[in-house]
């Protein structure tokens, strides 16, 4: 089975490519290396095509004889989209449209796309179930809503087999901590291991549904193998609700000492609370259970410590 992974040199994509190759799938990665890196695919036996999903010829080459496409390529950060909305729109919304056109030209390989919990935005209902009103608060969230809406509309208009996942806060090995738009787990782990104060935006009571990247890779791989389709978006998270202060407590338990915190202003476009309703996911993937948060965090800390060759004590 041949699977194209766009954004496969990124955090989630490279973890997914590794899982798929280990299971004997043939993987073709398309990535322009704007936020990802070749090093993420070290030791992964995948074909690598460097370039943008905005290039139709490159997509046609990648999709030749493909059975499935997992479209993860995007500029994935809320603050980055607030700083440069057009760049986010091009990569995320127009990029998805280009991938959909390439899927049509290729005769309809199965397609999984990555949307985001950020589409729920200002809607305060908890937990977030897929039927509720979306209310994006950032250009990034709008571009992800466009990603899933285009995908589901293409399924309806052109008979494509698709699945649009809404990822929540995915974390794990390979996630970058070394840029201004780093996600919360790598930013916290990196600070903890480097002896810097934990950069805490807001008061830390904001909550997130953290999902270990290994759990995400397993669900996507199963979707591809079984060609699981849905006419509506599907949350890819398991309903956990952890505050940032709670996350710091867990990290303190793992590293074995208290961690200083640096108080920073809240970030524009961030949502206060996020927690998934997992009903639809559990119906489609009844056998899959997530890696528990504590174990995923331990793996993540171990990877960061190895990558930075720091000691945990």
Ligand X SMILES: NC(=O)c1ccc[n+]([C@@H]2O[C@H](COP(=O)([O-])OP(=O)(O)OC[C@H]3O[C@@H](n4cnc5c(N)ncnc54)[C@H](O)[C@@H]3O)[C@@H](O)[C@H]2O)c1
Helix %, strand %, coil % of the chain (to 5): 45, 20, 40
12 touches ligand X by CB under 6 A = yes
N-terminal to C-terminal alpha carbon distance within the chain: 44
**Is residue 290 near ligand X by the rule CB under 6 A?**
no
In the list 169, 215, 275, 300, the residue contacting ligand X (rule: CB under 6 A) is 169
Measured between alpha carbons, how far is 130 from 143 in angstroms, rounded to an integer? 17
Q: Which stretch binds ligand X (CB under 6 A): 9-17, 119-127, 151-159, 303-311?
A: 9-17
Binding residue (CB under 6 A) for ligand X from 3, 32, 163, 274? 32
Taking CB under 6 A as the rule, does residue 235 contact ligand X? no
Q: Which of 114, 146, 193, 223 binds ligand X (CB under 6 A)?
A: 114
* Nearest distance in Å: CB 256, ligand X: 27
Question: In 77-116, which positions are buried (b, 16+ CB within 10 angstroms) versus exposed (e)?
Answer: bbbbbbeeeeebbebbbebbbbbbebbeebeebbbbbbbb
Q: Which is nearest to 117 in space by CA: 109, 106, 128?
A: 128
**174-193 positions binding ligand X, by CB under 6 A:** 183
Q: How far is the CB of 260 from ligand X (least distance, A)?
A: 25
Q: Which is nearer to ligand X, 48 or 282 (CB)?
A: 48
Q: Minimum Å distance from CB 7 to ligand X?
A: 3
Residue 13 within binding range of ligand X, rule CB under 6 A: yes
3-class SS of residue 194: helix
Closest to 200 (Cα-Cα) out of 218, 187, 186: 187
- The four Cα atoms 121, 122, 127, 128 give a dihedral, to 10 degrees, of -40
Q: Map residue 288 onto helix, strand or coil.
A: coil
Q: Is the dihedral of CA 31, 37, 40, 43 positive or negative?
A: positive
- Does residue 74 interact with ligand X by CB under 6 A? yes
The DSSP call for residue 44 is -
- Shortest distance (Å) from residue 154 CB to ligand X: 17
CB of 140 to ligand X, least distance (A): 7
Between 99 and 106, whose beta carbon lies closer to ligand X?
99
Q: Would you say 146 or 160 has its CB closer to ligand X?
A: 146
Interface with ligand X (CB under 6 A): 6-7, 9-13, 30-36, 52-54, 72-76, 91, 95, 114, 116, 167, 169-170, 183
């Amino acid at each position: 089975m041949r699977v194209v992974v766009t954004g496969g040199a990124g955090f989630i994509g490279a973890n997914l490519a590794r899982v798929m190759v280990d299971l004997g799938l043939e993987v073709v990665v398309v990535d322009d290396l704007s936020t990802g890196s070749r090093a993420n695919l070290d030791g992964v036996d995948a074909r690598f095509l460097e370039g943008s999903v905005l290039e139709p010829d490159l997509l046609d080459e990648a999709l030749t004889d493909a059975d499935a496409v997992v479209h993860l390529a995007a500029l994935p950060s809320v603050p980055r989209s607030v700083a440069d909305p057009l760049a986010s729109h091009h990569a995320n919304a127009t990029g998805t449209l280009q991938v959909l056109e390439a899927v049509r030209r290729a005769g309809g390989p199965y397609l999984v796309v990555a949307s985001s919990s950020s589409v729920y935005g200002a809607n305060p209902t908890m937990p977030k179930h897929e039927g509720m009103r979306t209310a994006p608060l950032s250009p990034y969230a709008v571009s992800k809503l466009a990603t899933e809406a285009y995908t589901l509309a293409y399924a309806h208009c052109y008979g494509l087999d698709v699945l649009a996942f809404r990822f929540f806060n995915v974390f794990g090995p390979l996630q970058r901590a070394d840029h201004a738009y780093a996600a919360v787990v790598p930013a916290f782990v990196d600070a903890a291991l480097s002896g810097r104060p934990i950069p805490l935006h807001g008061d830390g009571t904001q909550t997130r549904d953290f999902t270990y990247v290994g759990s995400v890779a397993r669900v996507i791989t199963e979707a591809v193998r079984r060609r699981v389709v849905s006419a509506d978006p599907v949350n890819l998270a398991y309903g956990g609700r952890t505050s940032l202060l709670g996350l710091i407590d867990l990290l303190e338990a793992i590293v074995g000492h208290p961690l200083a915190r640096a108080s920073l202003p809240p970030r524009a476009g961030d949502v206060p609370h996020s927690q998934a309703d997992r009903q639809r996911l559990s119906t489609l993937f009844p056998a899959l259970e997530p890696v528990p948060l504590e174990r995923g965090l331990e793996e993540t800390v171990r990877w960061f410590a190895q990558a930075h060759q720091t000691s945990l004590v």
